[in-house]
Amino acid sequence: MDARVFNAKTVMGDKTMFDLNNAINNWRMNLSGKQTCAKSDIDEMESHLREEIDSLTASKLSEQEAFLIATHRLGDPDSLAAEFAKVNTSILWRKRLFWILAGMLTFIAARHLSSLALSGCYLLGAVGGLLGYGFGLVSEFIGIAVFCLTLFVFCSACRPSNTPRLDWLFRTVRGKVILCAAFGFVFIANPLVEFLSRALGGRITDVEQWGQIMLVSALVRRPFQVLLFVGFMVLLIRLRSSNVREARE
């Protein structure tokens, strides 16, 4: 009987236990998400936070209470980030430049991936004898889908709060290695497959069918490029309004 009561208590205790390191980690994540504090700034403030918590728990407060008071005394992350932004202008620009370059690289990778998918389709079609208008249309859409999917994965990776959590791709070493390997693979595979599809396609099928595919490709790609432009504009406007919303909250 006693053992069961004790057991229940430990189970309850585990569930409601306040994990200080976890709380501090969340606090760190929140600050580093603001993009203006360097890691060393956050380290320094964490050390401050821990000393304050130590001194508060020494005066008989619980860890959770001490954490709440200490973070409150340290100041809210938004105004801290704003203060640091005045000092760390170079960090802010470095991060902005990083995202601009990351976006450009992703765009290039998306184009390469989409053309790889397209060439793959042509290659399969040429080998399997599936050619003509319909086939051209299907492969074009597959290419576009791959392009959009790459951009979507990138966007998910950028936003740590998104439901499909892909931010580890940028944050962990493993993620970075996978990204680099993927880039390398795409850059090497793309010209190879394209060359094969052209070489095999020309040899196996007749010129007229190739012409049909190219015609469809040209007809579909132009409207898609216009749509892409419109999509980017919409995205920019959406991002602006979401920033305003976050700032208000």
Partner 1 sequence: MNVSKDLVAASATPLILSILSQGENYGYAIIKRVRQLSGGKMQWTDGMLYPVLHRLESQGLIKSQERVSETGRKRKYYRIEDKGTAVLKEQRSQWMLVYSTLKQLWETKPCLT
> Rule CB under 8 A: which residues touch partner 1?
40-41, 43-45, 47-48, 50-52, 73-75, 79-80, 83-84, 86-88
Which residue, 31, 55, 57, 60, is CA-closest to 44? 31
* C-alpha triplet 142, 152, 124: angle, nearest 5°: 20
The residue type of 29 is M
Q: How far is the CB of 75 from partner 1 (least distance, A)?
A: 4
Q: How far is the CB of 87 from partner 1 (least distance, A)?
A: 5
Half-sphere exposure of 70 (CA within 13 A, CB side): 24
Is the Cβ of residue 19 or residue 83 nearer to partner 1 in the bound state? 83
Query: Taking the complex as a whole, how short is the minimal distance between the CB of residue 48 and partner 1, in angstroms?
Result: 5
Nearest residue (CB) to partner 1, 89 versus 172: 89
Q: How many angstroms from the chain centroid is the CA of residue 192?
A: 28
Q: 174 is written with which tokens?
A: 């493993």
Q: Which residue lies nearer to partner 1 by CB, 91 or 158?
A: 91
Q: Which residues contact 107 (CB under 8 A, 6 or more apart)?
A: 151
Q: How far is the CB of 65 from partner 1 (least distance, A)?
A: 17
Cα(84)–Cα(222) distance, rounded to whole angstroms? 46
Question: Which CB sits closer to partner 1, 41 or 140?
Answer: 41
Nearest to 56 by CA among 41, 47, 43, 67: 67
Q: Among residues 61 and 189, whose Cβ is nearest to partner 1?
A: 61
Q: Output the smallest distance, CB 69 to partner 1, in A.
A: 11
